[in-house]
A and B are shown apart, each in its own frame.
Chain A
Amino acid sequence: MAEDETYRLEALSGTAAALARAVPHASAELVVASAGALVDPRRPAGATFVLRDSRVRLQLYLARKRTRLHLIFSRPAWPNRVVFNTRLSFQVTPTLAEPAGALRADEVGYRLVLPRFVIARPTPHQLDTLAPPGATRRNTVLMAIGPEGRDVLAVKDPDPKRCKAEWRYTLRGVPSPGAELHGHWPLGPFLALTEAIRSWVSSGCEGGDERPMGAPHSDERSEPRRLLYQIVKAYCAAATAVGRTSNKGPRLRGFLEPLAVAYGLGSYEADVVLRLMPDGSLARDEADDLFQLLLRVRVGQEAGRAKAHVAIGPPDFLVSGEMHRAFLDALARDRAVAELRRKLARLDKRLAPSDGAVRRFLADFGPSASVFRTTRAPGTDTDMVLIPGAVGGRRVLVVFHARFVVDVEDEEQPVTLDGGSVRALYAGAPDPDALAFDREVVRYFLRLIVAVRNWIGVLP
């Protein structure tokens, strides 16, 4: 059987339903089989076995073939084709609620969860007072950042290619004069933006404002919406299959009926890492160096009706988890520590007097580091590492980027620092006016801002 066996995306529903249906079916068979031990009056009544919680986790890949989206269950070896990593998981658990009736994908209610810090629909007054002159909803993104989101960063006409944008930062109600960015950003507002993104990612990209979203349908022209429809349809198929099998399970009739367990589908979540073309379609070629965005879909039932929550997130922005740890482990290896010490010492000698001091700093403050990929390349990525910490009682910030070799199939060392690639950008007390970030970082932020703006435009 070929490794790259593809299915039409429509096959997702059937797969999810078959996996989900198997649980109540198997549980009923298990009850019937184990109930045999209860019949013998010479023995004490034992127990029956039931399937309690079952969680299915599917790792899938999506790829375009001409005009259609296809599904692959095995990691495909297609060097030039864009493949979107997809995770789908759900639980089938016993429930006291009535089993779900037939759910229809075209009757699902949709809510779009916006990034917490994005002011999705700025008022004309906000645009006038908080954004650079000439700002409109189309050309400007307003972000509420800083403590409790009281400060506002407005970025107008973000142009990642030329690394250019106009911006205005309003700190505690006091607007800065509008300025044009040419690849150098002051530390203050963008540190606050990093913190806002970090907090957003930590919350699982949830918790932001929700707004109703038009329900997608099967023959959508927009590919992300068509994909969304199929993900939600798979939920409906799986939930309906579980409900039906709970109702009409095998052989649990008559006096065995009280032993029947009803099941429901829960915790249905799908994550798809996508790359969008400027027109909102999915990327076709690996050469299109597009920003990755995570489409996170959570579907459940509220008052008997299926509700889908659709959120977006930056998958390349790591704040915790296994990959985050893997990056920090890569930095803590001897050669990496020595290189970091040398490079940081050029900026602040007191910060990195020895390898031991660097290692201690990484151990103490590594968990609060933000690691984000600024450039993708086959086998080697450039990642930005930003570590806020303290040395000798004073607050310090360390910012550098470096190339890393990422091999997720290597269980021992999935991430390795590409020797000699560290470029220290900042080391010392955080000065809000310091021009700490270089073009690479600025481009990352601009791409993120553009991607968020595009997404918000594509989905509703």
Chain B
Amino acid sequence: MNVDRREAANAARAVQGALTNLRNELLSEKHGHIKKIREIPEEKLLPTFEELAGTMADLAELFPGRGERTTIAEFFSSVGKSLIDAQRSLDAGSQSYLEAARASEHILPSVFRIPKVSAEVRFKLEKRGTKGHHLVFLSQKQEATSLHQQSLQFEIAATPPPPEVVQALRSKAPRLELVLSPAERARVFDAIRGLAVPADLHKDLLLQHANEVLIAAVEPDKSYLLLYANKDELKHIGVWHVQLQPPKLEAAYKYNVAHNKAHKPERFKKFVLDLAARQAAFLRKMG
């Protein structure tokens, strides 16, 4: 059972405080004996009782195993997540369907969407300490016999977003783009060509296999990251940082160096090799 000790200690202190308040209300100030209950105005006593009940519920809240209780926000959040997951599965299904449709003249290309979801849930409201309410979802059996149910009806609809929002989102979303402009790539290689650097930086290797070197701009026209992999050996993969002015070449991940066993570069290397092969083919076509 994982209980946050600090949180539990705070909650327990709150219970203690509320208990002290209640004790003070119940005890006579003068003689320390318990007051007759009618001597205490209800208006004064009730909030103290409620405070105590609230703090105790807060403490109980920290301990798991409380059944199907959830907050309203958690409920909506889980419904939304399920819906998005369902649409994601449909998107994947649509993709497969489109691929299958491409091969056949008789199948119309279609994508599948969830247009809307309407639902009604029945629940009970249960006090959640001092923090509001829990929704307690009722079983089918309880639904049939219980009348003290609250209900929430809702409809979630899919709405097409305005094109300008999609455009703005896509243009502003950060993404890693390869430098494919021959002129810009030439500037990067020119910058390192004249450098006198140690042999273990493998400058010549980069220049010899320029079309297979992946380049990403860190700051366009100022600095770049270079990735290169050779399929001969697992350790033949490296990442370099290049600065144009003043020209500088550094190793970010050293080529031809066996790193410790915790590193698993296989998938990374395959990714770089596949992308480099496609890039080389592209650059050859561009002449």
Query: Which of A1, A14, A29: most chain B Cβ within 10 A?
Result: A1
Q: Decide: A50 and B157 in contact? CB cutoff 8 A.
A: yes
For B168, what are the chain A residues with a Cβ–Cβ distance below 8 Å?
255
Interface: A48 (CB within 8 A): yes
Q: Decide: B153 and A75 in contact? CB cutoff 8 A.
A: no
Q: Decide: A57 and B151 in contact? CB cutoff 8 A.
A: yes
Q: Decide: B162 and A33 in contact? CB cutoff 8 A.
A: no
For A26, what are the chain B residues with a Cβ–Cβ distance below 8 Å?
73, 76-77, 79-80
Q: Which of A1, A35, A46 contacts B126 (CB 8 A)?
A: A1
Interface: A322 (CB within 8 A): no
Q: Which of B79, B116, B148, B160 contacts A59 (CB 8 A)?
A: B148
Query: Which of A26, A54, A61: most chain B Cβ within 10 A?
Result: A26
Interface: B127 (CB within 8 A): yes
Q: Decide: B76 and A29 in contact? CB cutoff 8 A.
A: yes
Q: Which of A8, A25, A55, A75 contacts B154 (CB 8 A)?
A: A55
Q: How far is the CB of B234 from chain A (nearest CB, A)?
A: 30
> Per-position contact with A for B152-192: 1 when CB-CB < 8 Å, else 0?
11111111111111101110110000000000000000000
Interface: B113 (CB within 8 A): yes
> Per-position contact with B for A402-427: 1 when CB-CB < 8 Å, else 0?
00000011010000000000000000
Q: Which of A48-66 contact B (CB under 8 A)?
A: 48-59, 61, 65-66
For A75, what are the chain B residues with a Cβ–Cβ distance below 8 Å?
146-148
Q: Which of A15, A18, A30, A408 contacts B147 (CB 8 A)?
A: A408
For B154, what are the chain A residues with a Cβ–Cβ distance below 8 Å?
23, 51-55
Q: How far is the CB of B149 from chain A (nearest CB, A)?
A: 7
Q: How far is the CB of B264 from chain A (nearest CB, A)?
A: 27
Interface: B145 (CB within 8 A): yes
Q: Which of A1-32 contact B (CB under 8 A)?
A: 1, 5, 7-8, 14-15, 18-19, 22-23, 25-26, 29-30
Q: Which of B80-116 contact A (CB under 8 A)?
A: 80-81, 83-84, 87-88, 91, 111, 113, 116
Q: How far is the CB of B36 from chain A (nearest CB, A)?
A: 16
Complex formed: what's the CA distance from A409 to B100 in Å? 54
Residue of B nearest to A30 (CB): B80
Interface: A393 (CB within 8 A): no
Query: Which of B158, B164, B166, B168: most chain A Cβ within 10 A?
Result: B166
Complex formed: what's the CA distance from A234 to B125 in Å? 16
For A254, what are the chain B residues with a Cβ–Cβ distance below 8 Å?
172
Q: Decide: A59 and B169 in contact? CB cutoff 8 A.
A: no
> Chain A contact residues (Cβ within 8 angstroms of B): what range?
35 or more
Q: Decide: A49 and B126 in contact? CB cutoff 8 A.
A: no
Interface: B150 (CB within 8 A): yes
Q: Which of A36-44, A116-124, A331-339, A371-379 participates in binding chain B?
A: A36-44
For A39, what are the chain B residues with a Cβ–Cβ distance below 8 Å?
169-170, 173
Q: Decide: A5 and B127 in contact? CB cutoff 8 A.
A: yes
For B42, what are the chain A residues with a Cβ–Cβ distance below 8 Å?
65-68
Interface: A258 (CB within 8 A): yes
Q: Which of A33, A41, A66, A256 contacts B84 (CB 8 A)?
A: A33
Interface: B1 (CB within 8 A): no
Q: Decide: B84 and A73 in contact? CB cutoff 8 A.
A: no
Residue of A nearest to B144 (CB): A411
A52 and B155 in contact, given A33-B81, A46-B87, A59-B150 (Cβ under 8 angstroms): yes
Q: How far is the CB of A269 from chain B (nearest CB, A)?
A: 14
Q: Decide: A47 and B159 in contact? CB cutoff 8 A.
A: yes
Interface: A202 (CB within 8 A): no
Interface: B72 (CB within 8 A): yes
**Residues of A contacting B: mostly:** mixed
Interface: B124 (CB within 8 A): yes
Complex formed: what's the CA distance from A257 to B270 in Å? 40
For A15, what are the chain B residues with a Cβ–Cβ distance below 8 Å?
125, 132-133
Q: How far is the CB of A275 from chain B (nearest CB, A)?
A: 20
Interface: A391 (CB within 8 A): no
Q: Decide: A49 and B83 in contact? CB cutoff 8 A.
A: yes
Complex formed: what's the CA distance from A5 to B49 in Å? 13
Q: Which of B124, B132, B159 contacts A18 (CB 8 A)?
A: B132
For B132, what are the chain A residues with a Cβ–Cβ distance below 8 Å?
14-15, 18
Q: Decide: B156 and A30 in contact? CB cutoff 8 A.
A: yes
Q: How far is the CB of B189 from chain A (nearest CB, A)?
A: 29
A49 and B158 in contact, given A19-B72, A26-B76, A33-B80 (Cβ under 8 angstroms): yes
Q: Decide: A255 and B172 in contact? CB cutoff 8 A.
A: yes
Complex formed: what's the CA distance from A39 to B169 in Å? 6
For B111, what are the chain A residues with a Cβ–Cβ distance below 8 Å?
44
Complex formed: what's the CA distance from A456 to B59 in Å? 48
Residue of B nearest to A43 (CB): B91
For B50, what are the chain A residues with a Cβ–Cβ distance below 8 Å?
8
Q: Decide: A49 and B170 in contact? CB cutoff 8 A.
A: no
Interface: B9 (CB within 8 A): no
Complex formed: what's the CA distance from A35 to B170 in Å? 11
Complex formed: what's the CA distance from A48 to B87 in Å? 10
Q: Which of B80, B87, B148, B165 contacts A38 (CB 8 A)?
A: B165
Interface: B46 (CB within 8 A): yes
Q: Which of A35, A37, A54, A67 contacts B91 (CB 8 A)?
A: A37
Interface: A74 (CB within 8 A): yes
Complex formed: what's the CA distance from A22 to B76 in Å? 8
Interface: A435 (CB within 8 A): no
Interface: A34 (CB within 8 A): yes
Interface: A259 (CB within 8 A): yes
Interface: A45 (CB within 8 A): yes
For A74, what are the chain B residues with a Cβ–Cβ distance below 8 Å?
124, 148
For A18, what are the chain B residues with a Cβ–Cβ distance below 8 Å?
72, 132-133
For A30, what are the chain B residues with a Cβ–Cβ distance below 8 Å?
76, 80, 83-84, 156
Residue of A nearest to B85 (CB): A33
Q: Which of A225-256 contact B (CB under 8 A)?
A: 254-256
Chain A residues close to B by CB (< 8 Å): 1, 5, 7-8, 14-15, 18-19, 22-23, 25-26, 29-30, 33-39, 41, 43-59, 61, 65-68, 73-75, 254-256, 258-259, 408-409, 411
Q: Besides A37-B91, A46-B87, 18 other CB < 8 A contacts?
A: A1-B127, A7-B127, A23-B76, A26-B79, A26-B80, A30-B156, A37-B88, A46-B158, A47-B113, A47-B160, A49-B158, A50-B159, A54-B153, A57-B152, A57-B153, A58-B125, A58-B150, A68-B42
List 13 A-B pairs, Cβ < 8 Å.
A25-B73, A29-B76, A38-B170, A45-B166, A47-B158, A47-B161, A49-B83, A49-B87, A54-B152, A65-B42, A67-B42, A254-B172, A258-B162
* Top 5 A-B residue pairs of the complex, sorted by shortest distance between their CB atoms: A26-B76, A47-B158, A22-B72, A75-B148, A30-B80
